[in-house]
A and B are shown apart, each in its own frame.
Chain A
Amino acid sequence: SQKIEQNSEALNIQEGKTATLTCNYTNYSPAYLQWYRQDPGRGPVFLLLIRENEKEKRKERLKVTFDTTLKQSLFHITASQPADSATYLCALLKTGTASKLTFGTGTRLQVTL
C-alpha cells in the first residue's frame, strides 16, 4: 500500500541548531514533493516545492533534499528560532495524477531557548 511517513514524535531542539525533519514514502512515484508549515488552529502554509529531477532546493534558512532512490525527502531549518516551532507536513503529487496532493501526518518541531 502507498504510505507517506513522517516521524510522529515531536522534535525538540535548541535555538540556533539545525532542525532536520524526514519524509519517507513507499509505493509512490511522486512528480514533486511540497513542504508546508501548520500552526495550531491554522491552515497549512506552503514553504517549498522540489521536483523529482531536483536534488536540493533552498529558501532563506530552509533547505529541502529529495532522493528518489531512497524515497526520502529531508527538510532542514538552519539557525532555528523559537518562532519556527510548528508542525511541518510533507505532501506528494503522484506522477500521472492531477491535483491530488497527499499529505503525511506531520512532525511537530519545538525550538527552545
Chain B
Amino acid sequence: GAGVSQTPSNKVTEKGKYVELRCDPISGHTALYWYRQSLGQGPEFLIYFQGTGAADDSGLPNDRFFAVRPEGSVSTLKIQRTERGDSAVYLCASSLRASGISNTGELFFGEGSRLTVL
C-alpha cells in the first residue's frame, strides 16, 4: 500500500484478555518498529525488526508483550493478560533501511491502534 497500515484503529478490551495489533509496512521497507504513545507523551520505543528477526526488543515492558514478523513484512504485536496500564496508542513505523549514522532513518508511521483496557 501507499503508507503504513495498522489494524484495528480502535480496540476496547477487558482486563485479562489477549490482544493482537497488526501492522502492514510500506512495501520494500526492511525495518519495522513498534512504539507506544500515552496521552501527552512522546512515542516510546518497544521493538525493532530488521527483516524477520527482532534486532532490538529492549523496549518491551515485560513478557506479556511479544511481536512477530514471520515473513519480513506484516508484523503483529501481541499482548497477553492485558492490564489497564496497557491502554495507549500503539504506533507502527517502517523505514527503507534501519536508522543509523550512515543514513537518515526517516520513519514512516501508521495512524496507530488505540487500545483501551477496561
Contact = CB atoms under 8 A, between A and B. Distances in A.
B107 A101 contact: yes
Interface string A1-20: 00010101000000000000
Given A43-B4, A43-B91, A99-B48, A89 B43 contact: yes
B101 A99 contact: no
Contacts of A103: 35, 42-44
Overall SS of chain B's interface:
loop
A52 to B, nearest CB: 9
Most buried by A among B40, B43, B112: B43
Nearest to B59: A100
A99 B106 contact: no
B92 to A, nearest CB: 8
Given A31-B101, A99-B99, A105-B40, A49 B110 contact: no
For the side of the interface on B, what is the size category?
A: 20 to 34
Contact of A99 (B4, B40, B43, B55): B55
Judged by DSSP, the binding face of A is strand
Contacts of A89: 42-43
Nearest to B47: A100
B99 A101 contact: yes
Interface residues of A, number: 28
Contacts of A93: 99-101, 105
Interface of B: 4, 31, 33, 35, 40-45, 48, 50, 55-56, 58-59, 91, 93, 98-101, 104-112
Given A98-B55, A103-B35, 8 more contacts: A44-B91, A44-B107, A91-B42, A99-B33, A99-B99, A99-B105, A105-B40, A105-B41
Interface of A: 4, 6, 8, 31-32, 34, 36, 41-46, 49, 51, 89, 91, 93, 95, 98-106
6 contacts: A32-B105, A44-B91, A95-B101, A98-B56, A99-B50, A103-B35
